[in-house]
Amino acid sequence: MSAYSELSAHFTRTAALGNGIGILQWDSDTMMPKGAAETRAESLALLRVLHHGMVTDPRIGDWLAGASGEDLGPWEQANVREIERQYTVQTALPADLVDAASRASSKCEMAWRKARAEADFPALLPYLEEVLRLQREMGQAKGEKLGLSTYDALLNDYEPGGRSARIDALFDDLAQFLPAFTEQVLEVQSRRPATPPLSGPFAVEAQRALGVEMMRTVGFDFDRGRLDVSTHPFCGGADNDVRITTRYDEANFSKALMGVLHETGHALYEQGRPRDYIFQPVGQARSMSVHESQSLLMEMQACRSREFLTFAAPRMRAAFNGAGPAWEAEALWRSYTRVERGFIRVDADEVTYPAHVILRYRLEKALIGDEMKLSDLPGAWAEGMKTLLGVVPPDDRLGCLQDIHWPSGGWGYFPTYTLGAMTAAQLFDAACKADPSILPGIARGDFAPLLAWLRTNVHSQGSLLETDALLTRATGRPLDASVFKAHLVRRYGGEMEQHQAA
């Protein structure tokens, strides 16, 4: 067997283990009775140790050395590159550091649940200090191996090839644009007639049926996936078995519906990864920003469009026996594109969401870089909110205690949300230009042209190309903020109102 074949076989086995873990994790979040939690934690911990042993197997180093002398095709070369990247990261950290960081995060997560409920940042502070210290240490260890700054080394886990210098420029551009633009959007909205509310209750079974219908409409393959319920919606599962979740609110069907479409965007990416390399690192999704671009492309770009809501409105009415002006496509569109300044990131709309992310990105970079003390976080948070969003949270529960990311050790993750939003806009724009039948298709519930473009240009590419190269191939240029801004201006800037008034 060639060294490459050994590598490939090893990662196929590793994927088999990872797929088992994926389903067990899904089960923990959807099906598991609560009395099984400890027993399950033991199973998952054991399997994760075994998985870690496989991805750090010292033979990988030998096989990589051997494969470098072999004559390989482009996919195989890219697979070697991805394996080497992961192996370098996975073996950069001493086991006791990984263990200490994992324990500190578990403790901090527990402290965070209490501290958030009580809006008590000082109670969290010592735990979070410890998490931050260990994250910094891990970032330094990885950074040394990879030749990256500490923050970039952390970012690299979620966004391979991502660099903060680049993100600074993109986010500064947006940060300059957003405050005044948000003002303008709110002004435009204030001139509109009030939208009557949709009145429920909306039966869970009907919500589920509508969600499934819409998943089928956009192209979800139920032969290789499922829709279930969990407290926190996610897209998980395994290769060829992509499982998304949602939660239903009988008072508001739109949350679950838009949530399902968001997760379906993730799922379509997973279901569209290259079949021949599905178990290999090169066959995985490119990065978190590209993943988020697929969910946001589906939810924000495609399904909050007037075209989609024209198609969906009669189906919503049929699902819930809806009647009256609130159920008209235009009213639904207004409700689905409503902008509001708020304190909470996960409740934010498309226009204000980036401000939440930019704030967190700037703060976590300063904290990791030791340019700011953690005890100063609440003050810095309030100041940043004021500048970027024009509102100041009344307490830390609605401020710096709202997200689980930092307590749980997810430092370097936040920027991928807004990179994803920008990527989504750039991809959707390129798709609609490349195939003018995409938007008219969506208006008829025909997502085949859009899905075909995504399959060709994103999904089937796996990790063959680096993120910039992928985006350049698909859209003609690397990521910049202009298309996203243009999208926001077009959708929210009042052009339609001006047009109608003219």
32, 92, 204, 391: which one binds a copy of itself (CB under 8 A): 32
Q: Pick the closer one to a copy of itself by CB: 241 or 330.
A: 241
Residue 50, interface with a copy of itself (CB under 8 A)?
A: yes
Q: Pick the closer one to a copy of itself by CB: 222 or 247.
A: 222
User: Among the candidate windows 21-29, 124-132, 169-177, 458-466, which touches a copy of itself by CB under 8 A?
Assistant: 21-29
Q: Pick the closer one to a copy of itself by CB: 224 or 405.
A: 224
Asked if residue 266 belongs to a known ligand binding site, the reply is yes
Tokens of 363: 């703060």
Q: CB burial class (10 A; 0-12, 13-18, 19+) of residue 108?
A: buried
Segment (H or E) for 14: helix 3-30
Residue 239, interface with a copy of itself (CB under 8 A)?
A: yes
Nearest to 420 by CA among 282, 284, 298, 295: 295
The Cβ of residue 194 has, within 10 Å, a number of other Cβ atoms equal to 6
Shortest spacing between CB 224 and a copy of itself, in angstroms: 4
Residue 117, interface with a copy of itself (CB under 8 A)?
A: no
CA pair distance 270, 360, nearest whole angstrom: 28
Residue 260, interface with a copy of itself (CB under 8 A)?
A: no
Q: Pick the closer one to a copy of itself by CB: 45 or 65.
A: 45
Interface mask toward a copy of itself for 199-228; x: CB under 8 A: ----------------------xxxxxx--
User: Among the candidate windows 31-39, 247-255, 338-346, 428-436, which touches a copy of itself by CB under 8 A?
Assistant: 31-39
Nearest to 400 by CA among 421, 374, 368, 369: 374
Residue 38 falls in the annotated catalytic set: no
39, 68, 387, 437: which one binds a copy of itself (CB under 8 A): 39
Asked if residue 291 belongs to a known ligand binding site, the reply is no
Residues 6 or more apart whose CB falls under 8 angstroms from that of 119 comprise: 395, 396, 397, 398, 401
Return the residue matching tokens 């008829």: 444
132, 153, 238, 297: which one binds a copy of itself (CB under 8 A): 238
User: Among the candidate windows 28-36, 98-106, 173-181, 433-441, which touches a copy of itself by CB under 8 A?
Assistant: 28-36
CA angle 140, 144, 147 (to 5 degrees): 120
CA pair distance 473, 471, nearest whole angstrom: 5
Segment (H or E) for 445: none
Shortest spacing between CB 412 and a copy of itself, in angstroms: 30
Q: Pick the closer one to a copy of itself by CB: 145 or 455.
A: 455
CA 372, 374, 375, 378 torsion-angle sign: positive
Tokens of 486: 């243009």
Shortest spacing between CB 44 and a copy of itself, in angstroms: 8
2, 43, 230, 252: which one binds a copy of itself (CB under 8 A): 43
The single-letter code of the amino acid at 129 is: E
6, 23, 404, 445: which one binds a copy of itself (CB under 8 A): 23
Shortest spacing between CB 294 and a copy of itself, in angstroms: 20
User: Among the candidate windows 18-26, 69-77, 154-162, 394-402, which touches a copy of itself by CB under 8 A?
Assistant: 18-26
**DSSP letter, residue 302:** I
Q: Pick the closer one to a copy of itself by CB: 164 or 207.
A: 207
2, 90, 240, 254: which one binds a copy of itself (CB under 8 A): 240
CA pair distance 500, 502, nearest whole angstrom: 5
Q: Pick the closer one to a copy of itself by CB: 22 or 143.
A: 22
1, 34, 180, 194: which one binds a copy of itself (CB under 8 A): 34
Q: Pick the closer one to a copy of itself by CB: 54 or 261.
A: 54
Count of residues that bind a copy of itself according to CB under 8 A: 35
Kindly compute the dihedral angle of the four CA atoms of residues 331, 336, 340, 343, in this order, to the nearest 10 degrees: 150
Shortest spacing between CB 40 and a copy of itself, in angstroms: 7
User: What is the C-alpha radius of gyration for the chain, rounded to an integer number of angstroms?
Assistant: 23
* CA distances to 231, 368, 396 from 27, in Å: 13, 34, 33
Which parts of 80-109 interact with a copy of itself (CB under 8 A)? Answer: none
Residues 6 or more apart whose CB falls under 8 angstroms from that of 256 comprise: 207, 211, 246, 247, 248, 249
End-to-end CA distance of the chain: 72
Residue 274, interface with a copy of itself (CB under 8 A)?
A: no
Kindly compute the dihedral angle of the four CA atoms of residues 451, 456, 457, 458, in this order, to the nearest 10 degrees: 70
Which of the following is catalytic: 76, 159, 263, 299? 263
Ordered DSSP codes for 54-82: HHT-THHHHHHHHHTTS---HHHHHHHHH
Residue 76, interface with a copy of itself (CB under 8 A)?
A: no
Tally of helices (H runs) and strands (E runs) in the chain: 21, 3
Shortest spacing between CB 351 and a copy of itself, in angstroms: 37
Asked if residue 118 belongs to a known ligand binding site, the reply is no
Catalogue the active-site residues.
Answer: 263
Bind-site residues: 262, 266, 292
Please report, as ranges, the residues that interact with a copy of itself according to CB under 8 A.
12-13, 16-17, 19-20, 23-24, 27, 31-36, 38-40, 42-47, 50, 221-226, 238-241
